[in-house]
Amino acid sequence: MISLKQLHYALAIEKTLHFKKAAEACHISQSTLSSAITELEKQLGLTIFERNNKQVLITNDGQFILDKAKKVKLELDELLHLANMNKTPLSTAMTFGVIPTIGPYFLPKVLPAVRKKYPDFKLKIVEEQSHILVDKVRSGDIDAAIIALPYPIDGLMNFDFWEEDFYLICHKDEALNQSNGITSAELEIEKLMLLKEGHCLKDHAISACHLQSKKQDTDFDSASLHTIIQMVAGKLGTTLVPEMALDQLTYNQSELVAIHLNEPGPHRKISLIIRPNYVRTNELNILKEIFVNELKKSMNK
C-alpha cells in the first residue's frame, strides 16, 4: 500500500531535483529515500523520476502523480488543522511568508504585541519575493503570506488589512520647497532609483507615478532599500518608499527629506493571502486585528 511517507519523500525530490538533498531535508539516509521511491514506483507500475549521476528528471506520469500527492498533502494538513480547531487560539504553530519590502518594517511593529498576547504561539517567518510566496501558499508549504497588492494571486483568497502611499526620499539639498508633496510630473525620472526587477514594490511605484517603464543604470540596480537610501544620502539620486518603511529607513538620516507622492492612492495594499479551503481563518482574523491596531499605533493613524 502507498504510504504518506513515500509521497512526502517524492515531493521532497520534486522540490530539490536531487536525491541526496531530498534525503537531508527529510532527515533520512539517501538509501532509505531511494528504496521508498523505488517501492512507490513499483506499486504504481510507472516511473516517477528519471535519474542518473548528473540529474533527476520528472516524467509526465510522475508529474501527474506528484500533483495528486500535493492535493493529498493539502487535504491531510487541513484535516490536522481541523483537529486543532477546538484548542486555544494560536496554540499551534504557523508559517507565514512575507516579502522583503514589508518584513523588516512591518514585523518589528506587530510581533511584540503578538508575543505579549500569545506567548506560546510559534510563528515561523519565510522571507521571499511575491511569486515564490504565492506558489508556497498554493502548495501548502506555508500557511499564509503577507504581500503587497495589486499582484496576481489567481486561485487564492486575500484579506486586505492595511493601505499606504509612497514618499519620495531625497537629499535635503535637492528638495525644492515641496513640503506639501510632489506629483509624478514633478519627479526627475533620471534620478529615480528603484529596486531591481522582480520586486513588486518597483511595479507599484511605477504604477503610482503613471510611468510605462523605468530604465535603470545597472550600477543602481540594488536589491535592498537600505542600500538605495545610502545612495540617496550620498546625493546619487532619489527613491520612492512606502510609508511603513519611513521611520526605519530615515532614522538618524538628518540629511534626508521625505515628500509625499501626491498621486491618487492608496499606492499599495498590504494583504494576507491564503488557500480557499484554509481552516484557520479565525486565527488569522485575530492576527489581522493585532496587525491593524499596532500599525495604527506606530504610525499615529
Residue 194 within a domain: yes
d(CA 261, CA 160): 22
Residue 88 within a domain: no
Q: Above pLDDT 90, what percent of the chain?
A: 45
d(CA 301, CA 291): 13
Q: Which of 83, 109, 143 is the last residue of a domain?
A: 83
Q: Which of 38, 60, 83 is the last residue of a domain?
A: 83
Q: Which residues contact 55 (CB under 8 A, 6 or more apart)?
A: 17
- pLDDT top residue among 209 and 164: 164
- pLDDT top residue among 1 and 240: 240
Tell me what the mean pLDDT of segment 53-63 comes to. 88
d(CA 52, CA 69): 24
> Exposed/middle/buried for 207, CB within 10 Å: 0-12, 13-18, 19+?
middle
Tell me what the mean pLDDT of segment 142-152 comes to. 94
- 151 and 287 both lie in a single domain: yes
Is the pLDDT at 215 greater than 60? The verdict is no
Is the pLDDT at 289 greater than 90? The verdict is yes
pLDDT, tens digit, for every residue of 185-203?
A: 888 888 888 887 667 888 8
Q: Which of 83, 102, 117 is the last residue of a domain?
A: 83
Residue 198 within a domain: yes
Q: What's residue 89's pLDDT?
A: 79
Q: Above pLDDT 70, what percent of the chain?
A: 91
- pLDDT top residue among 42 and 88: 42
CATH code of the domain covering residue 45: 1.10.10.10
CA angle 276, 282, 286 (to 5 degrees): 125
Tell me what the mean pLDDT of segment 111-129 comes to. 94
Cis, bond preceding 104 (omega within 30 deg of 0): no
- 136 and 203 both lie in a single domain: no
pLDDT, tens digit, for every residue of 159-183?
A: 999 999 999 999 988 776 666 788 8
Number of compact structural domains in the chain: 3
d(CA 301, CA 293): 9
CATH code of the domain covering residue 211: 3.40.190.10
Task: Residue 62: name the closest of 72, 47, 52 by CA.
Answer: 47
For residue 55, what pLDDT band results from cuts at 50, 70 and 90? confident
Q: Which residues contact 294 (CB under 8 A, 6 or more apart)?
A: 109, 110, 113
Residue 89 within a domain: no
- 63 and 120 both lie in a single domain: no
Is the pLDDT at 218 greater than 50? The verdict is no
d(CA 64, CA 151): 28
> What integer best gives the mean pLDDT of the chain?
87
Which residue in the block uniquely carries the three cell numbers 506558489? 135
Domain holding 151, by residue range, is: 94-162+268-298
- 189 and 134 both lie in a single domain: no
- 125 and 43 both lie in a single domain: no
Which range, of 38-47, 75-84, 97-106, 204-213, averages the lowest pLDDT? 75-84
Which stretch of DSSP H or E encloses residue 232? helix 225-233
d(CA 104, CA 7): 36
- 37 and 173 both lie in a single domain: no
Is the pLDDT at 225 greater than 70? The verdict is yes
d(CA 136, CA 201): 20
222 grid coordinates: 540594488
